[in-house]
Amino acid sequence: MRGVEELLAIDQAHAWHPYTATINQDPVYPVRAARGCRIQLMDGRELIDGMSSWWCAIHGYNHPVLNQALRDQIESMAHVMFGGLTHEPAVGLVERLVALTPAALRHVFLCDSGSVSVEVAIKMAIQYHQARGEPGRHRLLTLRSGYHGDTFAAMSVCDPVTGMHHLFSRVLPQQLFAPAPACRFGAPCQDEDISAFTDLLWRHREELAAVILEPIVQGAGGMRFYSADYLRRVRELCHAAGVLLIADEIATGFGRSGRLFACEYADISPDIMTVGKALTGGYLTLAATLASQEVATTISAGTPGVFMHGPTFMGNPLACAVANASIDLLLARGWEQEVRRIQAGLEQGLAPCRDLRGVVEVRILGAIGVVELARPVVMRDIQRRFVDRGVWVRPFGRLVYLMPPYVIEARDLARLCAVTQEVIGETASG
């Protein structure tokens, strides 16, 4: 095995990390291993994981049940094409997803990643209206402060300010943006809260294929929590206008918000739903786009009679096998109690941050804790401060947030919160 210095030298020379430059690089920390809620660095330090590796490793790392699922599957086949073939892991997964998600969703398209699942959802919506003889319906209406992925169609429905629109504005599809919901989680939605959305929907209904939004929790676009009543009213408006509703549950799915899927807070069923991130417990990349019977049948009955998408690694048996094991583990282990315990720990542990200079707001929902700052963080500085204290937290913009694995112990969660308070206090004071 290479030493730390050699590994870092090669990484710095050739590896391009997400959302980084290849010059004036921020530090990276070589990892030797990860187990449970701990990340072990090659220099001997151990970090408490507060990020679940971008929200996907809900069972922690190196879980024996998930490890065994992969060992068992690889003995029979690692991969086989999904075109014209099928297999037990994929069939088992689509069966589980149909059983767990809102009742109207009956068909599952397995995808490579969350961004791809959003691309698939948008293509489904457009092809649905094409099949209905409505080719003019090709645009999307979405909410500001949203995030849906990094590929082109997905970028086009991310927040136009906090996203990447200014770089790619000449080539991105031009979508419509309603204001981010002002009605907070737990509050009712008044007519004025949804009036701008309603106006855009009805003024542009003849060109709208779908509305896409993140239910209840807006993720990387702002980490905001909004009213379930708002979501319920969006569902009603879409139905009245004949516009499909796409629910992006990539970040919120599988319990993170306190419900298995955030749509459950509003008791609604979208026409199309995307899931990913925690689907495999953080082991392999996999996502899915689920569609209603109406959407699937209409696309299939129209020209050209098939849905026009088909990834090479669609339905990969290894990924499907570990996804099945992850879902079964989640349901068997009592995830609701775990998430409630984390929510209580976050509420207690992050409460002191409300009194710190430079803190705008502290908000908690499920296993999500967010501290919003008045000014953006300096990444290389704040990241070092967290690592030096034995904690892995990766803020962005003005947001310092915690999304730990569901299996985190109370003392580790308390430590995460305490370090967050310390680091924010230090950075705010200069």
Q: Is residue 176 part of a domain?
A: yes
**Lookup result for tokens 């905001």:** 224
- What is the model's pTM? 0.97
The secondary structure element, H or E, covering residue 279 is none
Q: Tell me the per-residue pLDDT of 34-70, one tens digit each, with 9 for 90 and over.
A: 999 999 999 999 999 999 999 999 999 999 999 999 9
User: What is the distance in angstroms between the CA of the first residue and the CA of the last residue of the chain?
Assistant: 40
In terms of domains, do 42 and 84 share one?
A: no
What helix, strand, coil percent values describe the chain, rounded to 5?
A: 40, 20, 40
Q: Which of 147, 265, 401, 406 is catalytic?
A: 147
Q: Quick check: 215 and 262 in contact, CB under 8 A?
A: yes
In terms of domains, do 179 and 210 share one?
A: yes
Q: Tell me what pLDDT residue 140 has.
A: 98
Nearest Cα to Cα of residue 96 among 270, 279, 236: 279
Q: Is residue 67 part of a domain?
A: no
Q: Is residue 46 part of a domain?
A: yes
User: For residue 397, what is the domain's CATH number?
Assistant: 3.90.1150.10
Structure token pair of residue 333: 């282990």
Burial class from Cβ neighbours inside 10 Å (0-12, 13-18, 19+) for residue 199 reads exposed
Helix axes 410-428 and 379-388, enclosed angle (nearest 10):
140
What range defines the domain where residue 39 resides? Answer: 4-62+334-428
**Lookup result for tokens 């998600």:** 101
Angle 122-126-128 from CA coordinates, rounded to 5°: 115
Q: How many domains does the chain have?
A: 2
Q: Tell me the per-residue pLDDT of 170-192, one tens digit each, with 9 for 90 and over.
A: 899 999 999 999 999 999 999 99
In terms of domains, do 283 and 416 share one?
A: no
Question: Which parts of the chain have pLDDT scores under 50?
Answer: none
In terms of domains, do 326 and 379 share one?
A: no
Q: Quick check: 364 and 258 in contact, CB under 8 A?
A: no
Q: Tell me what pLDDT residue 430 has.
A: 60
Among 290, 309, 332, the domain boundary falls at 332
**d(C-alpha 315, C-alpha 300), whole Å:** 20
The secondary structure element, H or E, covering residue 35 is strand 31-35
Coil, strand or helix at 335? helix
Among 278, 300, 332, the domain boundary falls at 332
Active site residue 248: yes
The CA–CA distances, whole Å, from 130 to 61, 135, 307 equal: 44, 5, 11
Burial class from Cβ neighbours inside 10 Å (0-12, 13-18, 19+) for residue 133 reads exposed
Structure token pair of residue 222: 């702002």
Q: Which residues pair with 224 in a beta bridge?
A: 218
Q: Is residue 96 part of a domain?
A: yes
User: For residue 138, what is the domain's CATH number?
Assistant: 3.40.640.10
In terms of domains, do 213 and 349 share one?
A: no
Angle 248-250-251 from CA coordinates, rounded to 5°: 110
Q: Is residue 71 part of a domain?
A: no
**Lookup result for tokens 């967010």:** 370
In terms of domains, do 183 and 325 share one?
A: yes
**Lookup result for tokens 């210095």:** 5
Q: Quick check: 393 and 50 in contact, CB under 8 A?
A: yes
Q: Which of 193, 248, 271, 412 is catalytic?
A: 248
In terms of domains, do 103 and 141 share one?
A: yes
Q: Which of 61, 112, 277, 401 is catalytic?
A: 277
Query: Phi, psi (5° rounding) for residue 31?
Result: -105, 135
Helix axes 88-100 and 317-332, enclosed angle (nearest 10):
40
Q: Is residue 114 part of a domain?
A: yes
Active site residue 123: no
In terms of domains, do 242 and 101 share one?
A: yes
Structure token pair of residue 134: 């409505």
Query: Phi, psi (5° rounding) for residue 350?
Result: -95, -10
SS (H, E, C) 135-150: CCCCEEEEECCCCCCC
Among 282, 302, 332, the domain boundary falls at 332
Angle 206-202-159 from CA coordinates, rounded to 5°: 90
How many Cα neighbours within 13 Å face the side chain of 111?
Answer: 24
In terms of domains, do 128 and 236 share one?
A: yes
In terms of domains, do 313 and 360 share one?
A: no
In terms of domains, do 240 and 173 share one?
A: yes
Q: Looking at 132-208, list the stretches that DSSP marks H as alpha helix, in order from N- to C-terminal side.
A: 152-156, 165-168, 191-203
Q: Which residues pair with 248 in a beta bridge?
A: 274
Q: Tell me what pLDDT residue 167 has.
A: 85
